[in-house]
Structure 1
Amino acid sequence: MDVTVNAAMSADGKLSSRRREQIAISGDADFERMYRLRAAVDAVLVGVGTVLADNPSLRSHDEAHRAEVYGPDADPPARVVADSACRTPPDADILAGEPDTYVLTSGAAPEDRRAALREAGAELIVTDGDRVSLSTAFAELAARGIDRLMVEGGGELIFSLFEAGLVDSLSVYIGDLVIGGRDAPTLADGEGFVADFPELELDEVERLDEGVVLYWEVV
């Protein structure tokens, strides 16, 4: 599976403020870039923190581009949530309507929450242990025909993916504002690396709106 992380952050590397509220970091041109990226993958993944903070629907909004890439009968990209404890609300927008939604969860998730998500239409992929095994869950997604996956956050999930060696490329829009705050989420939160840092190779720089997009390949 090819895994791309795509994010927008402030000039000082923050995804949002310390209140973890959605902030407009980029503009219309970057949103169009994001929709085209969504249309070119098989599924889009976020962590449950993003679902709880932003309630995204994760639809591609670029049917024409997807038809251009994959043909007029191509299915829209699936939606995926990494949610070890099944905290996704059953009425979340990510579960509403089409396309399909997968919830990656753990064996420790309460059974009543699992049942509620299944009732809401989600397909659960359950891995052993207290936390989702991302490598195992990704293998299950690949078995369901998902070969290209885009990750849109948040910082805890992105760090976990880098830690597991599952990221192939990274694109980041850097906006024209400073957010600050030691408790504000960053591109890669979690425990952080102290050695064996993931190395990136710069592939492209694109000016967009009042910021830039950096495209890296993971070495």
Structure 2
Amino acid sequence: MIPYVISNVGMTLDGKLATIENDSRISGENDLKRVHEIRKDVDAIMVGIGTVLKDDPRLTVHKINASPKDNPLRIVVDSNLKVPLNARVLNKDAKTVIATTTPISDEKEEKIRKLKEMGIMVLQAGVQKVDLRKIMNEIYKMGINKILLEGGGTLNWGMFKENLINEVRVYIAPKVFGGANSPTYVDGKGFKNVEECTKLELKNYYPLDDGIVLEYRVIGSFK
């Protein structure tokens, strides 16, 4: 068994998450509140290390009325254990799990020791890349039933590729950023053909701020 996963993103009409100079001002006030309502409703928030290094997020519930007990578990997928020890995602606001790979160097062992001393749980699965399905199994055993996946593009690709996403919620802003190297919702290698790709069924949509929210069910998902 593995948790139910909601992938949420705010992006431009051309699928970009930020400009070429990393200006990511896409969502309006009401969309930010929508995201934090989802955070409050799940057991964990999951991101990749790229998001941590770029944005240094707290990954807590703070845009709406909430108490510290409303903060879900934070999961960071970090194959090479690059997470800075002073990253906000490691603070005491909520519990944190770092998912990394199995091979251990002396440097990595020392980093894991320091993380554990800070009260951070470290899960290891996979050799060069984190084995996402194994990690999800371990997370489920911890009593985590629902996860909000907040990217970035590399982790989103891995989760779609392994069919670990049940639901997609997208806020589309009426903006076009362009840029071949601008970050997008899903990066990675990509599917080879239409037969392989993830297919979605539209369940709901509504206007919000100056954009629109689309909610999809992943066809053929495990739950």
Pairwise same-fold verdict (TM > 0.5): yes
Residue 200 of structure 2: aligned partner: 200
Amino acid corresponding to residue 199 of structure 1 in structure 2: K
CA RMSD of aligned residues (A): 1.8
Distance (whole Å) between structure 2 residues aligned to residue 51 and residue 22 of structure 1: 16
Q: In the superposition, relative to structure 1, how do residues 63 and 92 fare at CA in structure 2: closer, same or farther (>3 Å)?
A: same
The structure 2 residue matched to 1:106, chosen from 79, 101, 115, is: 101
Amino acid corresponding to residue 41 of structure 1 in structure 2: V
Tell me, yes or no, if structure 1 residue 24 matches structure 2 residue 18.
Answer: no
SS at match of 1:212: strand
Distance (whole Å) between structure 1 residues aligned to residue 192 and residue 116 of structure 2: 39
| TM-score, reference length from structure 2 | 0.90
Q: How is 1:78-117 mapped onto 2 (pairs within 5 angstroms)?
A: 78-108=73-103, 110-117=108-115
Residue 15 of structure 2: aligned partner: 13
Give the CA deviation at 1:163: 0.1
Tell me, yes or no, if structure 1 residue 189 matches structure 2 residue 187.
Answer: yes
Tell me if structure 1 keeps the 8 A contact 2:39–2:71. Answer: no
Q: Deviations over 1:152-189 (max 9, x none)?
A: 01011001000000000000111121111111111110
Tell me if structure 2 keeps the 8 A contact 1:22–1:53. Answer: no
Tell me if structure 2 keeps the 8 A contact 1:76–1:99. Answer: yes
The structure 2 residue matched to 1:137, chosen from 135, 145, 161, is: 135
Q: How is 1:15-54 mapped onto 2 (pairs within 5 angstroms)?
A: 15-19=17-21, 21-54=22-55
Residue 56 of structure 1: aligned partner: 57
SS at match of 1:207: strand
Q: Deviations over 1:191-219 (max 9, x none)?
A: 00112111000011110111111100000
| TM-score, reference length from structure 1 | 0.91
Distance (whole Å) between structure 2 residues aligned to residue 15 and residue 51 of structure 1: 15
Tell me if structure 2 keeps the 8 A contact 1:104–1:132. Answer: yes
Distance (whole Å) between structure 2 residues aligned to residue 206 and residue 114 of structure 1: 44
Give the CA deviation at 1:108: 3.0
Distance (whole Å) between structure 2 residues aligned to residue 164 and residue 4 of structure 1: 14
Provide the aligned length of Structure 1 versus Structure 2. 212
Tell me if structure 2 keeps the 8 A contact 1:22–1:54. Answer: no
Residue 5 of structure 2: aligned partner: 3
Structure 1 segments of 4+ aligned residues over 4 angstroms from their partners: 62-66
Distance (whole Å) between structure 1 residues aligned to residue 119 and residue 201 of structure 2: 40
Q: Deviations over 1:19-69 (max 9, x none)?
A: 4x2511011000000000000000000100000000000001267568xxx
Distance (whole Å) between structure 2 residues aligned to residue 189 and residue 128 of structure 1: 20
Distance (whole Å) between structure 2 residues aligned to residue 26 and residue 176 of structure 1: 10
Percent identical pairs in the alignment equals 35
Question: 5+ residue gaps in structure 2?
Answer: none
Give the CA deviation at 1:18: 3.0
Tell me if structure 1 keeps the 8 A contact 2:61–2:70. Answer: no
